[in-house]
Amino acid sequence: MKSGSNLEKVIASGKPAVTAELGPPMSADGHEVRKKARLLKGFCDAANITDCQTAVVRISSIAAAVIALQEGLEPVMQMTCRDRNRIAMQADLLGGAALGLRNCLCIAGDHQSFSAAGRLKGHPGAKNVYDVDTCQLVGILKKMRDEGKQEGGDPLEVAPKFFIGASWTPMADPVDFRPVNLMKKVNAGADFIQTQGIYDIEGFRSQMEKIRKMGLHERTAILGGIIVPKSAMMLKYMDSSVAGVSVPKSLIDRMNKVKAEAGEDKKKARELQEQEGLRITVELIHQVLETPGVKGVHIQAIEWESAIEGIVKAAGLYPRPAFD
Amino acid sequence: MIIGSQKPIEEIWEMVKDFRKVLVFGCNTCVAVCHAGGEKEAETIASLIRMRAQQEGKEMEVNHLGVMRHCEPEYFDPVMDEVKKYDLVLSTACGVGVNFLSDRTGNIPVYPGINTSFYGAVEAPGNFVELCAGCGNCILHMTGGICPIARCSKTLMNGPCGGTNNGKCEVSKDIDCAWFLIVERMKQLGTLEKLSEVIPPRNWSTSRDGGPRRVSLEHIRAYEEQEAQKAATAGGKK
Ligand code: SF4
Ligand code: SF4
């Protein structure tokens, strides 16, 4: 075992892994993290604790991850390259490991301009760091863990043992380069990969075919991303505005159909769309897991953590494997 | 070249309003090409300040002047006596020119008349684009001649982030994704396989992160010193 994390054990066991996501609050409300952690505990093998997602200031991933751990939920701490240089990154990795964290997902992070979207003021005038990029951060974690060395070469008496993750957007531009992108992350040392949300199963499968030809599915554990859709509007928005996500018309039509069934009743329209969203989610989970080379799913129910229990059960992925 | 852009006249007025004799001093190289701070623009700014002063009932003498460069003494030395007649020099050179001149004007302050934006090129008349960030260790041979440091919003070194959308950067539909361009260009050059290598963390000490930088050419310094010495000895014989 590289890290001994629960996620690593599940993946090593060969059973399909399930990860979920927990978004920390925009205030010092630790109770909110506990509440969400309790909703997820037992229904996933580990939960990503986002690191100031969309560049919005929230409880730090490490702090929220430790709270989750106290609640008995295994966290995947996240680290963006946006906010820290390699000095702060390594300091936080050492700290995270010392606090008992065993999984870390490395990501570039959304640009700070995203923080001012919608009603939020955010911090679009912030300076970004990008001292290192995702591939380089993955390499730093691997060097720390496997060679017991800091990036600069100084020895680590106690090495941080992380199960190292990275994200992958299989269908973003330039599409034919995306497999190389994944290969670089794997070569740098990514033990597991969580993909961007998949709705276009055909597109994903054709990328996975290339991945299998390259043998990458055997060198890293690919967890297919599932974003739980809540409404026709959300699907349309993701289709038009989220990079690397395209939503087949048939799925949008399905949502529109149930919405229309509710007529003028807004509450009913919402409920029916949510129910359809859960059905779509379970179908997507099956389709992703049936894709050769996939080792699990990463389910994101954004600000809807309570949905995870039902989804995991309906998908036949409950109970989750337990190890002692 | 260095690309500058004009400052709002309101901001300039706030800078200059308490001075009596103001020289708007243009630079006729880079910032003239981008229509920000050449002698012509200096003239316009000077007249705007004069108009404003008149409106506000302030007695001010505002003139303009221009030289080829503010970043080499030989260009502005000949007019230094004239420059020193003013209470304030509003330099419309880039920040380099403002700094450099300010070190040489004694009691007279030099204020910036424009915003210095970036190192760029003239894509089309009136369109200037940033293409290099002066990192001090060029790697363009590895990226198809397209700079990921200056042109990728996240200065990524190992390929695109997940935000590339229809060839555009996640930051704006008006920004090309540098990595999209790099991949396409390297395909065209038949060198795409170069991108398979993981580029390790960079040593940023050659860029601004290493502190202010200086380039010294030993042979030229040595020659200059020799010449100076020759001149001194020749003078001694007289
Ligand atoms: S690599 Fe450095 S020197 Fe070369 S173009 Fe980019 S910023 Fe300029
Ligand atoms: S979209 Fe392209 S240019 Fe923008 S940050 Fe990502 S890789 Fe860089």
Give the global pTM. Answer: 0.95
CA of B168: which chain A residue's CA is closest?
A173
- Look at residue A172 and tell me whether its pLDDT is greater than 70: yes
Confidence at A117, pLDDT banded by 50, 70, 90:
confident
Domain spans in chain B, listed from the N-terminal domain onward: 2-118, 139-210
- Chosen CATH of A6-229+281-314 out of 3.30.420.10, 3.20.20.220, 3.40.50.720, 3.40.980.10: 3.20.20.220
CA of B149: which chain A residue's CA is closest?
A130
Calculate the average pLDDT of chain A: 97
CB A255 within 8 A of CB A273: yes
Mean per-residue pLDDT, A177-186: 98
CA of A183: which chain B residue's CA is closest?
B196
pLDDT at A301: 96
Mean per-residue pLDDT, A125-132: 97
Q: Which atom of ligand 1 is nearest to the CA of B207?
A: 2
Complex ipTM value: 0.95
pLDDT at B235: 64
How many angstroms separate the alpha carbon of residue B151 from the centre of ligand 2? 8
Per-residue pLDDT tens digits for A68-86: 999 999 999 999 999 999 9
CA torsion, ordered A28, A33, A34, A35, to nearest 10 deg? 110
CB A163 within 8 A of CB A3: yes
Taking an 8 Å cut-off on Cβ atoms, the answer to whether A244 and B201 are in contact is: no
Q: How far is A270 from chain B (nearest CA, A)?
A: 30
Q: Which residue has the tokens 């974690």?
A: A141
Q: Which residue has the tokens 């000895």?
A: B233
- Segments of chain B scoring below 50 in pLDDT: 238
- Look at residue A180 and tell me whether its pLDDT is greater than 80: yes
Q: In what order do the strands lie in the sheet with B114-124?
A: B2-6, B114-124, B127-132
pLDDT at B238: 45
Decide: residue A249, CB within 10 A, 0-12 exposed, 13-18 middle, 19+ buried: exposed
pLDDT at B236: 56
Per-residue pLDDT tens digits for B18-43: 999 999 999 999 999 999 999 999 99
CATH of domain B2-118: 3.40.50
Q: How far is B203 from chain A (nearest CA, A)?
A: 9
B1, B119, B131, B132: residue to mutate for ligand 1 pocket, most atoms within 8 A of CB: B132
Give me the percent of chain B exceeding a pLDDT of 70: 98
pLDDT at A118: 82
Taking an 8 Å cut-off on Cβ atoms, the answer to whether B160 and A174 are in contact is: yes
Q: How far is A245 from chain B (nearest CA, A)?
A: 10
CB A198 within 8 A of CB A226: yes
Decide: residue B88, CB within 10 A, 0-12 exposed, 13-18 middle, 19+ buried: buried
Ligand nearest to the backbone CA of B161: 2
Residues near B154 by Cβ (< 8 Å), separated by ≥ 6?
Answer: A81, A82, A108, A109, A111, A128, A130, A133, B161
Pull the structure tokens for residue B9: 């006249």
Answer whether B179 contacts ligand 2 (Cβ < 6 A): yes
pLDDT at A10: 98
Domain spans in chain A, listed from the N-terminal domain onward: 6-229+281-314
